[in-house]
Structure formats: structure tokens, C-alpha cells
């Protein structure tokens, strides 16, 4: 595998002609054996892969040896490439006839800007294939022993982002998020956790509503801490919870205590692929 450290200086070679094919792949929450078979096959045949920071080393190890790996990742505070530059690079490479894989953590169409990238490809008249991935919420629920819906506790499931574009950092529909018999999973919310909890409490959710933080779900060092909505910011601070982590709020979190101890660990990678 060759790494191209700084994709800004990457110029497509002229030897290719005609539009290339782009495959947008969801890499799942981290563990490589949580990839779909279709994704694993596409990675095994890839020529060039543009990948983000949430894609684990184990997933990258499945890329065809000799393929070019281009890191275009983003860490919230430190952008390697702006989203516009990533889109521009992807479109230029595809237009020059390259066959590309665009690899993103979780599912590309869930808080992954995969929609924006697909729009850019469509606008440029390029065709692409989308391979879904297991989104972090599903990975976290399964790994932490928290079914996201359950007939006794939640009839509605909401995915929300704690990080929004522009000045209104967290301009969510708090009224909707505070409804009863609902599970709320918040992505990218660790930095804004105190605001999130304060608003949910102000909009009527009880302080003793069960809540969990799941860090690095599906990876060997995954952690899950549970408590109540009122205590969650303190818990995050005490346990030094860091991104990537998800916030799960709702009565389904109670099931963690019963289900997590009874769960066995995941099968080894080789056994699955």
C-alpha cells in the first residue's frame, strides 16, 4: 500500500481517459469484520482509496496490496482537507478515469457527508455505487448490550447530531428529542454534552432518564458508561470520555445491566472473512 501524505498536491495522471467509477463505502464502526461482504470485496479489488480518520487500521488492511491510499481525514479541530477540497479531488480523480473507492466510517449516508459527495458526483455526470455500512449507533447498541428499540421501552428511534453547521452549534428540535418512549442517539455530541443535557431537561425529559456514553464501539478498547441524563456531563468528565463516542438516551439503556454481562465477545476476524 502506498500512502500519499498530502492529497493537496496529488495530481491525477494523464494516462487515464474516460470517467472512472466511484464506490462510496461505509466502513462500519471500526471492527473490520463488521464490514459488509460487498464492501470487503470492493476493498480487495480497489486501485485507489480516499479514506477518513474514523476508518480503522484493520479495515485498511483489507485494501488490495499495491492500491494507493489517500488520507483525507478530518479530526473536528484539525481539518486535513476541507470538505470542498475532498469533493474536488474525488471528482478530478474520477474524471481522469481513475477507479476510486471513497471510504468513510460507519455509513456514508448517516452524518458522513456521503450525500454531499454523491451530489457532486451526480452533478459532474459521474456514476457511482453506494455500499452501506453499519452505522455507529447500531455498532454501539450491539457492543454495549443496548437494543435501540424494545417494545417495553421505546417505539421511536431518533439519530441526531450534536454538532451543526454555522453559528447555531446545537440548534436541535429539543421538543421532539424530549418525547417519551423514544431512544435518542446523538453523534458528535461529546463536546456539547452539557448543552444537550440541559436542553433535554428543560424540555421535559426527567433527570433520572437512563443514559449511556459509548466510546470506540466495536474496537478492542471500547468503553460504555451508564448513568442518568442529569448526571451524564459529570460522568463524561469523570471518565474522560473522548470522541468518537455516542450518547444514548432513553429507557432502553436500562437493558445494558442485564444484557451486557451475558454477551459473548465477537468472533475473530479470520473466522468471518
**Interface ranges with ligand SAH (CB under 6 A):** 29-30, 54, 104-107, 110-112, 135-136, 139-140, 187-188, 214, 216-219, 243-246
**What does the DSSP 8-state code read for residue 24?**
E
Based on CB atoms, which residue is closest to ligand SAH, 68 or 107?
107
Task: Give me the least distance between CB of 49 and ligand SAH, in Å please.
Answer: 16
52 catalytic per annotation: yes
Q: Which residues contact 139 (CB under 8 A, 6 or more apart)?
A: 28, 29, 30, 31, 34, 106, 217, 218
Q: Which one of the listed residues 33, 52, 104, 107 is annotated catalytic? A: 52
Based on CB atoms, which residue is closest to ligand SAH, 95 or 101?
101
41 catalytic per annotation: no
Based on CB atoms, which residue is closest to ligand SAH, 139 or 250?
139
Helix H or strand E segment including 213:
strand 210-215
Task: Give me the least distance between CB of 32 and ligand SAH, in Å please.
Answer: 12
Q: Which residues contact 166 (CB under 8 A, 6 or more apart)?
A: none
Task: Give me the least distance between CB of 148 and ligand SAH, in Å please.
Answer: 13
Taking phi over 0 as left and psi of -120 to 50 as alpha, with beta for the rest, 114 belongs to: alpha
Based on CB atoms, which residue is closest to ligand SAH, 105 or 227?
105
Q: Which long-range contacts (CB under 8 A, 24 or more apart) does 199-204 make?
A: 199/170, 199/172, 199/174, 200/174, 200/229, 200/249, 201/229, 201/230, 202/174, 203/174, 203/175, 203/177, 203/178, 204/178
Task: Give me the least distance between CB of 154 and ligand SAH, in Å please.
Answer: 19
Q: Which one of the listed residues 74, 167, 173, 221 is annotated catalytic? A: 74
Catalytic residues: 52, 74
Amino acid at each position: 500500500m502506498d500512502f500519499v501524505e498530502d492529497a493537496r498536491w496529488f495530481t491525477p495522471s494523464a494516462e487515464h481517459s474516460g470517467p472512472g467509477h466511484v464506490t462510496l463505502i461505509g466502513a462500519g464502526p471500526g471492527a473490520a469484520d463488521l464490514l459488509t461482504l460487498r464492501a470487503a470485496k470492493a476493498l480487495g479489488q480497489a486501485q485507489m482509496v480516499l479514506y477518513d480518520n474514523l476508518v480503522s487500521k484493520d479495515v485498511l488492511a483489507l485494501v488490495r496490496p499495491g492500491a494507493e491510499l489517500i488520507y483525507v481525514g478530518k479530526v473536528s479541530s484539525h481539518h486535513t482537507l476541507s470538505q470542498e477540497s475532498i469533493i474536488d479531488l474525488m471528482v478530478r480523480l474520477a474524471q481522469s478515469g481513475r477507479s476510486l473507492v471513497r471510504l468513510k466510517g460507519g455509513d456514508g449516508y448517516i452524518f458522513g457527508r456521503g450525500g454531499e459527495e454523491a451530489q457532486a458526483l451526480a452533478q459532474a455526470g459521474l456514476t457511482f455505487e453506494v455500499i452501506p455500512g453499519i452505522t455507529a449507533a447500531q455498532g454501539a447498541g450491539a457492543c454495549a448490550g443496548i437494543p435501540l428499540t424494545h417494545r417495553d421501552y421505546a417505539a421511536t428511534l431518533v439519530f441526531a447530531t450534536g454538532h451543526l453547521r454555522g453559528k447555531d452549534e446545537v440548534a436541535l428540535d429539543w421538543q421532539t428529542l424530549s418525547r417519551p418512549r423514544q431512544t435518542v442517539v446523538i453523534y458528535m455530541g461529546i463536546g456539547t454534552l452539557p448543552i444537550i443535557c440541559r436542553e433535554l431537561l428543560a424540555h421535559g425529559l426527567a433527570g433520572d432518564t437512563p443514559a449511556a456514553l459509548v466510546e470506540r464501539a466495536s474496537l478492542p478498547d471500547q468503553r460504555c458508561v451508564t448513568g442518568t441524563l442529569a448526571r451524564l456531563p459529570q460522568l463524561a468528565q469523570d471518565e474522560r470520555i473522548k470522541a468518537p463516542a455516542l450518547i444514548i438516551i432513553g429507557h432502553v439503556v436500562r437493558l445494558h445491566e442485564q444484557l451486557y454481562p451475558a454477551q459473548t465477545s465477537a468472533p475473530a476476524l479470520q473466522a468471518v472473512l
